[in-house]
Structure 1
């Protein structure tokens, strides 16, 4: 346990680190890649270019310092990061270089304000926090390896089938190349791919949600092709998978991971998603359809129009064949051929008025997935209609870990 003096220093300086979190994150990754260039094979370089990973690191450092005496308060952050560390293969021996680099980044950014006493205190705090991560991750590695069909590291899968779901979403059905059974997973979890792309100096690692219910002889991931926009580059991995990978080709994946998982109790369920956020939500919906025929579930899905509406026919069939399932489809930019009442239900966005009309009983479990702005907006609306925060669960496709915080 940390001594009182160390705790006092860390908690009193945490707000300073928060104020300079972006600069610390930028400096940290620059130093880290200089010390250990092989880590370019681990970290998402697109997120590096966009500054997202740096911001996430800065937030995590600040949060850990603020809650150093009560890590349970940031348990969601710790669990989410630990799951991703297990998925990409972070090991205990990598923590020291990260700690050294982090402290150097703090010194470089804060200058003389980062006294030896402050750096020493944060060094002790980092050791305390990293021990918590290492302990949890060791358990995750052990559980993953020892489960039926489980494995450690990355394993070869071949693309058994490739199905176009919409204009920009394609599903990949994956089977293990060794012919063994696939390890089970919980609805909402993801697979992690390590892609070696011709022309790219480093491998690329990405997380893709499993879009089918567990219990099949295959894994299914459904990937949106990320095109270049004004502020964001083209998705290197998504375009490679869409354009270059064919049925029969081999890809490498680590075992399913993630803390965004469906609780299978019988409370009413509201599933809310936007765009490609439908993937883990669909896994949950399919699971309820097959295993909980009496559980009331409402799916609220927002997308642009029918051209960008993956699994449209499947979702309609689920609703028509299951009395416990209701769906509400929102298009914000319906195409000329899209018909309200047939292709979609509401023109516009998911807002407070819509949610209050659907969620009459606050004793519901809400699962939410989509872009950061989308989820921030929905969580704000859920707060206003007084859905308890403990009932709201979400998955972010961004390294930023906590939403709806002041």
Structure 2
């Protein structure tokens, strides 16, 4: 909770800071990478830095947290903090790095806002920062403890034992620990980080959902190649598509991620688009074994049936569940999917039971549309969960 003396200062300056937050975060990253260039090379996603998405995500999280402190002092945005903490743990972020971030972030604030940053303003926003940072540090410490690793996590070598081309742009890789130990359990919906050395010597990290059966002794990830378009071509996804072969080793983190199925017998909606199908597959595998009669609605949207990764597997799993229904949308259905609807997914058209809990994964426009449809139908916001592949750009809208 923000202190009594800081609350009116943050409330009064939030519009000023909010208006300049994009410029502040851009200056922050410039300062940070000048001081510690290895962080851009080996930790931060260079593609997201190049297209500005990481700056927008940082700006959104700070603005959302500060706004919550002054407007809802009795609550805390636990969903936002949990997503950030899981991502940080998968990257191996340590508590001492928050001091480094603080140093360069507040220098950037001073650069942008100048004399508006009085000692009183600086102290109030310092309190905002450390309330958020300390909450994340505590969450991340618990995640490291639960994963059985020290602060900063641990990387282990895993061997590719199978490689399958599932679409023209997606490849699945089945992994087992190189030391012969069990791969270990994961919760359906979680992801791992994969650290890949690139031709220039950088070791870039990307997250991939575990798309296989949680009961399997092996792990499976499915990698969609990011083609150059609105942003740069994906460095890691392209490298894995071109170079990763059976017998190769990958450096992989422990599983993290909070988009996981709840216990109980309440009805579920699993809504995905494109490669967002991957966490839903592990959920379906889990339900097929642990809770096959649970009421389940599955919806998936894709460009064409040929672009639908693991299409046959998803259809087979849904058909094995007696109380499950699958709804498909393709922008270009063709003749191979007569059961699918043409166009974009429409959650408003679904017959959903009362008390449904929804899980969304896909592009931001898809998730915004589905989430909006569900909220308009009366599904409470706390019952709609989502996973973002990349920086979370819509935190401020929660």
Structure-1-length-normalised TM-score = 0.92
| Equivalent position SS for 1:91 | coil
Unaligned runs of 5+ in 2: none
Counterparts of 2:75 and 2:373, CA distance in 1: 26
Structure 2 equivalent of residue 68 of structure 1: 69
Structure 2 equivalent of residue 338 of structure 1: 336
- The answer (yes or no) to whether the contact 1:330–1:348 under 8 Å persists in 2 is yes
Residues 215/353 of structure 1: CA separation in 2 closer, same or farther (3 Å cut): closer
Counterparts of 2:263 and 2:306, CA distance in 1: 32
| Equivalent position SS for 2:77 | helix
| Equivalent position SS for 1:175 | strand
Counterpart among 77, 99, 121 of residue 118 in structure 1: 121
Counterparts of 2:75 and 2:38, CA distance in 1: 33
Structure-2-length-normalised TM-score = 0.94
Counterpart among 82, 85, 90 of residue 88 in structure 2: 85
- The answer (yes or no) to whether the contact 2:211–2:281 under 8 Å persists in 1 is yes
Q: CA deviation at 1:404?
A: 8.4
| Equivalent position SS for 1:68 | helix
| Equivalent position SS for 2:326 | strand
- The answer (yes or no) to whether the contact 1:362–1:386 under 8 Å persists in 2 is no
Residues 178/242 of structure 1: CA separation in 2 closer, same or farther (3 Å cut): same
Q: CA deviation at 1:32?
A: 0.6
| Equivalent position SS for 1:117 | helix
Q: CA deviation at 1:15?
A: 2.6
Counterparts of 1:71 and 1:54, CA distance in 2: 28
How many residues end up aligned between the 2 structures? Answer: 394
Counterparts of 1:318 and 1:352, CA distance in 2: 21
- Structure number with the bigger relative contact order (C-alpha 8 A, sep ≥ 6) is 2
Question: Which one is further off, 134-143 or 293-302?
Answer: 134-143
**Superposition CA RMSD, Å:** 2.0
Structure 1 equivalent of residue 221 of structure 2: 221
- Correspondence 1:376 to 2:377: no
Counterparts of 1:72 and 1:39, CA distance in 2: 33
Q: CA deviation at 1:131?
A: 2.0
Structure 1 equivalent of residue 28 of structure 2: 28
Q: Output aligned runs, 1:7-406, within 5 Å.
A: 7-40=7-40, 41-68=42-69, 70=73, 72-145=75-148, 152-197=153-198, 199-229=199-229, 231-335=230-334, 337-341=335-339, 345-355=340-350, 358-359=351-352, 361-400=353-392, 402=394, 405=397
Residues 163/334 of structure 1: CA separation in 2 closer, same or farther (3 Å cut): same
Counterparts of 2:109 and 2:348, CA distance in 1: 45
Counterparts of 1:339 and 1:60, CA distance in 2: 41
- The answer (yes or no) to whether the contact 2:163–2:246 under 8 Å persists in 1 is yes
Q: CA deviation at 1:352?
A: 4.8
Residues 61/321 of structure 1: CA separation in 2 closer, same or farther (3 Å cut): closer
